[in-house]
């Protein structure tokens, strides 16, 4: 690896030359089953023929113009996403952090529009919202923040999945304008809240005139078996941030908003050079098309159940497995001890690509194009590894 790369990542000593579906091929020719999909990015797996064709065709025609002009692909994507999510308007950017940064700016504009000079946003413990200054401040992880003080003002933190904590803030703080929350916490350890949680947050937001802002950067784009995770509950957010799975690896993020929230950004208030360019939008449009035509939402649900059931059977009675949880193809296996070493042993012993988050939670985010047979291979390899690790 080059000495000229900044040391931002503790990289694994492996590089891949190409991929095919749910498989990655390393420089030495070894094939690996990809149960991480670039951290919930490659929903269509690798080298999907329809995506490849669409990107080549678009690249041969037009990659970038500028947001100084109308962009047909961007308009089409806005229409499509708003129809799928029940939202009114979209802003396109290039990453999850940028989508959340836009959400934070939007919430502040909303506050000021109501005469609140120091608007505050409620955020959660163990949350993850990105690495820009505002989004790392919103993130509920001291490790992400340490060394970057002074942090950004205007955030209030409460425990995740705790409605009464939010109600207490509501009773005492008149400057709150929004709640920013992940429907399922990803980086924090694949935490699925109680069934009524989002509905309660929606009720509190309605009662106080706050915006309900959902960070679906990880949970969105069919990952949990619905287009967006909030669609498992009977609610509608005011603001929705998307990125990871949206472009199948071509960088694209989006902020969707509804009602009054959709009218906050007026010319000059926000922008980006690359955001929503024709290539990125073509990637997103094709991703959505393939997911719909190939019924990948239903597949995510079925595969998630298959993998969780398989792991529960294979690991039943194994001491040290605390919990197997998740929704669709966002799955966490919590062990009773730190298990970051499993990433290397999965790779080297089982040719399996996984991730460990929050020290002791194995995180699976496989591509949605996985076959049943591949899901069974995943379960077999992972269960063997966990048993050996805990023995």
Ligand X SMILES: *Cc1c(COP(=O)(O)O)cnc(C)c1O
- What are the residues binding ligand X (CB under 6 A)? 95-97, 100, 128-130, 182, 186-187, 215, 217-218, 243-244
- Quote the CA–CA distance of 235 and 263 in Å, as a whole number: 21
Nearest distance in Å: CB 47, ligand X:
22
| Residue with smaller CB distance to ligand X, 106 or 386 | 106
| Residue with smaller CB distance to ligand X, 74 or 355 | 355
| Residue with smaller CB distance to ligand X, 253 or 278 | 253
- According to DSSP, residue 21 is labeled B
Give which of 237, 258, 247, 216 is closest to 93, Cα–Cα.
247
Nearest distance in Å: CB 130, ligand X:
4
Q: What residue number has its CB nearest to ligand X?
A: 96
Work out whether the CA dihedral 346, 348, 352, 354 comes out positive or negative: positive
Nearest distance in Å: CB 228, ligand X:
12
Cis peptide upstream of residue 150 (ω within 30 degrees of 0)? yes
Range list of H helices, 146-235 = 163-172, 197-208
Nearest distance in Å: CB 131, ligand X:
6
Contact 272, 94 (CB under 8 A): yes
Contact 284, 263 (CB under 8 A): no
- Quote the CA–CA distance of 247 and 135 in Å, as a whole number: 21
Question: Which residues are marked as active site?
Answer: 128, 215, 244
**Phi, then psi, of 50 in degrees rounded to 5:** -70, -35
| Residue with smaller CB distance to ligand X, 41 or 379 | 41
Nearest distance in Å: CB 326, ligand X:
14
DSSP for 254-269 reads EEEE-GGGGGS--TTS
| Residue with smaller CB distance to ligand X, 122 or 217 | 217
- Quote the CA–CA distance of 55 and 57 in Å, as a whole number: 5
């Amino acid at each position: 690896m080059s000495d000229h790369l900044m040391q931002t990542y503790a990289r694994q000593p492996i590089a891949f030359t190409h991929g095919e579906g749910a498989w990655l091929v390393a420089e030495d020719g070894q094939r690996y089953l990809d149960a991480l999909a670039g951290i919930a990015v490659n929903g269509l797996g690798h080298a999907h023929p329809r995506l490849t064709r669409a990107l080549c065709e678009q690249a041969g025609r037009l990659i970038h113009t500028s947001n100084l002009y109308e962009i047909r692909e961007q308009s089409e994507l806005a229409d499509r996403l708003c129809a799928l999510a029940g939202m009114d308007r979209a802003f396109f950017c290039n990453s999850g952090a940028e989508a959340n940064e836009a959400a934070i700016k939007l919430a502040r504009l909303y506050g000021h529009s109501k005469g609140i000079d120091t608007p505050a946003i409620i955020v959660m413990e163990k949350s993850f919202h990105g690495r820009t200054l505002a989004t790392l401040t919103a993130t509920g992880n001291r490790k992400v923040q340490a060394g970057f003080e002074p942090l950004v003002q205007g955030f209030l933190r409460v425990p995740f999945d705790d409605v009464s904590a939010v109600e207490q803030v509501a009773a005492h703080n008149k400057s709150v304008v929004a709640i920013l929350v992940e429907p399922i916490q990803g980086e924090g350890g694949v935490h699925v809240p109680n069934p009524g949680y989002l509905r309660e947050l929606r009720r509190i937001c309605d009662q106080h005139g706050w915006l309900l802002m959902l960070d679906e950067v990880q949970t969105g784009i069919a990952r949990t078996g619905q287009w967006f995770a909030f669609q498992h509950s009977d609610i509608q957010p005011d603001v929705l941030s998307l990125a990871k799975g949206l472009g199948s690896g071509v960088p694209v993020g989006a902020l969707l908003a509804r009602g009054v929230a959709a009218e906050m950004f007026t010319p000059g208030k926000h922008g980006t050079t690359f955001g929503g360019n024709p290539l990125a939008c073509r990637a997103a449009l094709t991703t959505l098309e393939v997911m719909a035509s190939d019924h990948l939402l239903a597949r995510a649900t079925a595969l998630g159940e298959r993998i969780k059931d398989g792991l529960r059977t294979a690991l039943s009675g194994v001491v040290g497995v605390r919990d197997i949880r998740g929704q669709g193809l966002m799955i966490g296996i919590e062990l009773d001890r730190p298990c970051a070493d499993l990433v290397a042993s999965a790779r080297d012993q089982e040719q399996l690509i996984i991730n460990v988050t929050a020290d002791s939670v194995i995180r699976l985010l496989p591509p949605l194009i996985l076959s049943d047979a591949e899901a069974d291979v995943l379960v077999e390899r992972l269960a063997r590894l966990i048993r050996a690790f805990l023995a």
